Every structure is written in C-alpha cells, then in structure tokens.
C-alpha cells in the first residue's frame, strides 16, 4: 500500500513565510499590506489620512448625532476596515478606510426589519453590454462615494463612537445608514430608486437593479451593483444630463468610459469588447504561491472522476484555505465559462476536502496560469435571436450517481448566460437527465425573453433550444405520458407547454456539435479548445 502524505509539505501546503517586501504568506494565502489593527493604522500617515477623510465625510453627511446612553438601549459596536484600492494594472490608486457597524449585533424588530442588497445579475450586465456594443452606444462608469450614507434610516439605531475618535461618554444615534447595518443596502436602494423614478426611469421586473428610461428616441439603461453604476445611453447629451441631475443629490464620481467594473476589465477592439479578469486571476495565483507554476492545457483531466472518499482529509486550517481559494475561483467564472464545470466539481467537496481535491484545485490554477490573458468576447455584430444549448452527463457522479446538467444561452452571437450544476435528484435514464437540463435552460430563456421585452427588443423568431438527446427532444413535444416518463416531476413539463404554444423551438443537434458539452464533463484538449472557441473566449 502506498504511503499516505502526512506532512503539510507532502500535501502541497506551504509553510508561513515572511518576505523582504513585508508581505506574509501563510497556508498558501498572502496578506495585502493592509493594517491588521487600529494601532498599526494610526501609526501610518497614509491610513491616518484616509480615516480622517472618512470621519469628516460622515460628519458632513450628518450621519449621526450624539445622545446619552439609556437603559435598555441596543448599542452596537463599530470598527475600521482598511483596503488598498488598485488599478487594473495592479498599481495603488488610493488608501481607503471605511467605518463599518457591527450589524450582527442588531436585533430584529428593534433596530432593523427588511434587508436586501441591490445587486444586478451578471447575465443582465452581459446582455446590456451586448446591446450597447451592437448599437454603438456610449458606456459610462459611475461611482457613488459613501453610497450607503445616503440612505435615511426609519428605525432607531444606536452605535458607539468610532474607535480613535471618541470625544465623550455619549453614543451615536444614527440618522442615516452606515456600512455594516443590515438595512443599509435597502435604505440606499430606496433613496436611489426614488430619485431615478422621479427622473422618469422604471425599475425592471426581471432584475430590480436595472433601471430603464425610454422616451421618444432616447433610451438609457442603468445597472446598479450596490455603489458601482454602469450607464449606457443612445445619446451622449442625455447621458450627461442624467449625470448632472444625480450629482445634485449624490456624491457622484464620473469614472469615464467603462474600463474596470467589479474586478472585470473591459477592453475595446474593432470587433467589440472583451471582458476579462486577468488581474484577478494573477492575484489568485499569487495568493496560493503559484505565480510561476507549470501551466496545464485543461482544468481537469478528461479521465478523472473525483470522489469524496478518496485522499486524506485536510486539516482545519488547510480546509479553510481550500474553501477560500475555491470561493475565489467561483468569482472568476463571471467571465470564464471554460472554468464552470471544473470549479463546480471542486465546490462539491467544500464540506470535507481531501488531498486529492486540493490537487484538482491546483490543476485548475495551473490551467489559469496557461490562460491568464483569456477573456469573453462580446462582438459588435449581433442579431436579435435567442438560442440555447442544453446537455447532461447521466449519472456522472460516482458517489451518488446524480447527473450533471449544463446550458449556454446566446443572444445573437453573444454568450449571455451559462450553468454547470449537479442535478438535485437521481435520473432513471439519460433521457430524464437531458429533459431536466432542458427545463433549466428553458427557465433561463424565459427570463431572458422577459428582460428583452422590458428593454424594448422584439425577437424575430421564437427562441431555439438545441439538445443532442432524441428521447428528450421527443418528450418535449409529446403530450402523452409513457411509463418511462410518468415519474418525472410535473414542474419539468413546462417545456412541453412552451413548445405547444409555439413560444419555444426544440431541435436535435449531433453530440459532436453540442456547445454545452464542456459544462457537463471534462474534455480532452482538442475538444476543449473547440469548446472555448464556440463560447467566444479569446486572448485579450
């Protein structure tokens, strides 16, 4: 029997090290040079200046007023959070200090009620960008400084004075929201949406973080991700007028043409734009200490089948770091559909990762090293047709025999949405697995149709769903229940209803031409390169 790895080095985990530039690497993770304590920040002029600016902004905004402590008051703490904001090339843009309330000490019904965060769906971002690029509209990026501070609180919330700025034994009664409060995103969204509606915008029902303005020949779309905003308009004059109106009420910063949004780099060329996360990918490699690793041509070997029973369990610290890296990889899939299946696979073992799973994560990182400059192309030439491809790998999991389903949805030639996910139940046949995957793809298509209707886009033909399983294709059009299909849950049969109403076309496609094949299984190198090409992935 082969000897099992017992030491940290044998399991591929690097010991803590301190480098000459002051960074510390511990368990494959590297610190960012940001202060770890209040005393450390107060001793640095850059961070002290950032704290003074934040505190002054809070006072100018009339965020609170001081009151004496009362018995029975739910008093919450606060802390400083430090972050170095960097540009797309990695250089330092500014030092940022933010005062954050410890909202986890709030009590429901006393100092907060409803909570939610205004976060736009990334598929909505891709769709709006594809329409803007195809129509030649301007794309502008805005940033709201101290966005949450603009929200007006309806509840009574009491907070201790900011550490390092205490002046008396009084406490702060918050009049406006502050970062960290459970209701802060709701208060900010309410304030912003009220202003936009007063200017003639309408909130989308398909994505509440998308606001639409359509009047005569002028169209404006606004995408909101908390305090980061993308605006695209058919007229630059209307875009500038909107910016002036918003500046009167909010501390708005115009960042110019869209170039860097939520860690996503937007680069323009003659064919359209390319969305990439090259800097983010390099940061992940640096955190793990694999910036100079040997590259791999595919994220997972085509013959490997991961199991939760193989390998030795990682220690508690190493398991935490495994989850941290896998979570970072999930965010990388926003522009990297080629990573969707492999990242979904290693996500299935977050509860109890082993050395084998960690080896698979390192294989993914080696592939990222090979393709660090790759991005998702949104072409300038587009058509108003919606097409989807669905596929499934029947009983692909060797642990529970569940199938993996995947789909890709295109608007014209632009890839808008994709998915690679293990199905919730065991499928009795490949037909059932494919049919379930078709249902998931159809649900995404219905959502996309609804969003396009709100954006004023009328489709020239019903959406087309391509499937490579003859039985599933037949099942979507046959209203008669057969013995082999009677056990399938009723909610999957809405595909048949869409087909009967001529709102969806389901067509058969040869397996060799199936674009969604790479979302359900690991592919050999030649098929994987073809898979990437079909998804519009190319070098930046």
Average pLDDT over residues 401-425: 94
Give residue 225's pLDDT: 87
Q: Is the dihedral of CA 62, 68, 73, 75 positive or negative?
A: positive
Backbone angles phi, psi at 131, to 5 degrees: -70, -40
Q: DSSP letter at 108?
A: B
The residues with which 18 forms a beta bridge, in sequence order, are 24
| Cα atoms in the 13 Å half-sphere on the side-chain side of 61 | 24
Between CA 99 and CA 180 the distance in angstroms is 9
Give residue 226's pLDDT: 78
- Residue 22 predicted with pLDDT over 60: no
Q: Residue 341 — very low, low, confident or very high, per pLDDT cuts 50/70/90?
A: very high
Give residue 319's pLDDT: 95
Give residue 446's pLDDT: 95
Compute CA distances 352 → 12, 311, 321, 346, 397, whole Å.
17, 11, 12, 11, 16
Structure tokens at 60: 């100018």
Structure tokens at 34: 């940001």
Between CA 238 and CA 220 the distance in angstroms is 8
CB contact at 8 A, 218 and 234: yes
- Residue 112 predicted with pLDDT over 90: no
Compute CA distances 111 → 67, 74, 153, 253, whole Å.
16, 8, 10, 31
Tell me the percentage of the chain whose pLDDT exceeds 70. 91
- CA torsion, points 523, 527, 531, 533, in degrees to nearest 10? 140
Between CA 328 and CA 346 the distance in angstroms is 12
The larger pLDDT score, comparing residue 162 to residue 483, is at 162
The larger pLDDT score, comparing residue 3 to residue 184, is at 184
- Residue 57 predicted with pLDDT over 80: yes
Q: DSSP letter at 21?
A: T
| Cα atoms in the 13 Å half-sphere on the side-chain side of 45 | 0
Average pLDDT over residues 102-107: 88
Distance of CA 438 to the CA centre of its chain: 24
Between CA 381 and CA 42 the distance in angstroms is 54
Q: Which own/partner pairs from 287-293 qualify as long-range (CB within 8 Å, at least 24 positions apart)? A: 287/28, 287/29, 287/30, 287/325, 287/328, 288/28, 288/29, 288/325, 288/362, 288/365, 289/14, 289/25, 289/28, 289/30, 290/362, 290/365, 290/366, 290/369, 291/369, 293/362, 293/365, 293/366, 293/369
CB contact at 8 A, 57 and 149: yes
Q: Residue 478 — very low, low, confident or very high, per pLDDT cuts 50/70/90?
A: confident
Q: Residue 16 — very low, low, confident or very high, per pLDDT cuts 50/70/90?
A: very low
- Residue 14 predicted with pLDDT over 50: no
- Residue 19 predicted with pLDDT over 60: no
- Residue 124 predicted with pLDDT over 60: yes
Alpha helices in 211-354 (DSSP H): 236-247, 278-288, 316-332, 340-347
| Cα atoms in the 13 Å half-sphere on the side-chain side of 19 | 11
Give residue 61's pLDDT: 83
The residues with which 152 forms a beta bridge, in sequence order, are 176
Average pLDDT over residues 483-511: 80
Q: Are strands 64-67 and 171-176 parallel, antiparallel or unpaired?
A: antiparallel
Check: pTM over 0.75? Answer yes or no: yes
- Residue 458 predicted with pLDDT over 60: yes
Average pLDDT over residues 270-286: 94
Average pLDDT over residues 411-421: 95
Give residue 505's pLDDT: 94
Q: Residue 490 — very low, low, confident or very high, per pLDDT cuts 50/70/90?
A: low
Give residue 131's pLDDT: 93
The residues, any chain, with a CB within 8 Å of residue 512's CB and separated by 6 or more, are none
Between CA 531 and CA 341 the distance in angstroms is 12
Interval 177-231: pLDDT, tens: 888 888 888 888 888 899 999 999 999 999 999 999 998 889 999 999 877 899 9
Give residue 481's pLDDT: 52
Average pLDDT over residues 385-390: 96
Lowest mean pLDDT among 89-93, 216-220, 273-277, 325-329: 89-93
Average pLDDT over residues 94-119: 83
SS3 of 14, please?
coil
Interval 300-327: pLDDT, tens: 999 888 999 999 999 999 999 999 999 9
CB contact at 8 A, 457 and 131: yes
User: Of 220, 223, 225, nearest to 240 (Cα)?
Assistant: 220
Give residue 487's pLDDT: 59
Q: Residue 143 — very low, low, confident or very high, per pLDDT cuts 50/70/90?
A: confident
Per DSSP, the residues of 362-402 read HHHHHHHHHTTTEEEEEES---S-EEEEEEEETT--TTT--
Alpha helices in 466-524 (DSSP H): 470-477, 494-500
Q: Residue 488 — very low, low, confident or very high, per pLDDT cuts 50/70/90?
A: low
User: Cβ atoms within 10 A of the Cβ of 302, count?
Assistant: 12
Backbone angles phi, psi at 444, to 5 degrees: -65, -40
User: Of 63, 87, 256, 306, nearest to 174 (Cα)?
Assistant: 63
Give residue 385's pLDDT: 92
Average pLDDT value over all residues in the chain: 87
Q: DSSP letter at 518?
A: G
């Amino acid at each position: 029997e082969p000897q099992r790895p017992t030491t940290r080095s044998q399991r591929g985990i690097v010991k803590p090290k301190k480098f000459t530039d002051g960074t510390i690497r511990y368990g494959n993770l590297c610190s960012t040079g940001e202060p770890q304590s209040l005393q450390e920040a107060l001793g640095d002029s850059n961070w002290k200046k950032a704290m003074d600016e934040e505190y002054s902004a809070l006072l100018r905004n009339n965020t609170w007023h001081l009151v004496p402590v009362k018995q029975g008051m739910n008093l919450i703490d606060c802390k400083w959070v430090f972050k170095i904001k960097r540009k797309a090339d990695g250089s330092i843009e500014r030092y940022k200090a933010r005062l954050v309330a410890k909202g986890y000490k709030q009590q429901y019904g006393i100092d907060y009620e409803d909570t939610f965060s205004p976060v736009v769906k990334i598929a909505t971002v891709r769709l709006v960008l594809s329409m803007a690029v195809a129509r030649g509209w301007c794309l502008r990026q805005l940033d709201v400084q101290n966005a949450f501070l603009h929200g007006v609180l309806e509840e009574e919330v009491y907070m201790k004075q900011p550490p390092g700025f205490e002046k008396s034994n009084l406490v702060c009664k918050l009049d406006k929201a502050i970062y960290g409060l459970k209701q802060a995103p709701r208060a900010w969204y309410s304030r912003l949406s009220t202003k936009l509606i007063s200017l003639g915008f309408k909130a989308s029902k398909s994505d509440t973080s998308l606001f639409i303005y359509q009047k005569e020949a002028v169209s404006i779309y606004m995408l909101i991700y908390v305090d980061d905003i993308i605006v695209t308009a058919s007229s630059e004059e209307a875009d500038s007028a909107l910016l002036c109106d918003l500046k009167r009420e909010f501390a708005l910063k115009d960042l110019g043409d869209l170039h860097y949004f939520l860690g996503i780099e937007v680069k323009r060329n003659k064919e359209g734009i390319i969305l990439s996360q090259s800097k983010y990918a390099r940061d992940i490699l640096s955190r793990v200490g694999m910036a100079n690793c040997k590259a791999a041509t595919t994220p997972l070997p085509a013959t490997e089948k991961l199991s939760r029973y193989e390998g030795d369990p990682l220690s508690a610290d190493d398991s935490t770091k495994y989850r941290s890296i896998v979570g970072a990889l999930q965010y990388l899939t926003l522009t990297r559909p080629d990573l969707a299946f492999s990242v979904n696979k290693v996500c299935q073992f977050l509860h109890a990762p082993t050395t084998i799973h960690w080896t698979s994560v390192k294989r993914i990182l080696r592939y990222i090293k090979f393709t660090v400059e790759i991005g998702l192309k949104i072409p300038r030439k587009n058509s108003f047709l919606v097409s989807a491809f669905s596929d499934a790998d029947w009983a692909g999991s060797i642990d529970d025999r569940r199938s993996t389903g995947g789909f890709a949805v295109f608007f014209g030639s632009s890839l808008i949405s994709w998915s690679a996910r293990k199905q919730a139940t065991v499928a009795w046949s490949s037909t059932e697995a494919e049919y379930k995957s078709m249902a998931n793809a159809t649900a995404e298509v219905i959502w996309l149709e609804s969003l396009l209707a709100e954006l004023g886009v009328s489709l020239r033909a019903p959406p087309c769903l391509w499937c490579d399983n003859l039985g599933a294709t037949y099942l979507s059009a046959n209203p008669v229940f057969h013995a082999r299909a009677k056990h399938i849950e009723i909610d999957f049969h809405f595909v048949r209803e869409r087909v009967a109403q001529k709102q969806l076309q389901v067509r058969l496609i040869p397996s060799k031409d199936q674009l969604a094949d790479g979302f359900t299984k690991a592919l050999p190198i030649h098929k994987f390169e073809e898979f990437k090409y079909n998804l519009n992935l190319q070098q930046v």
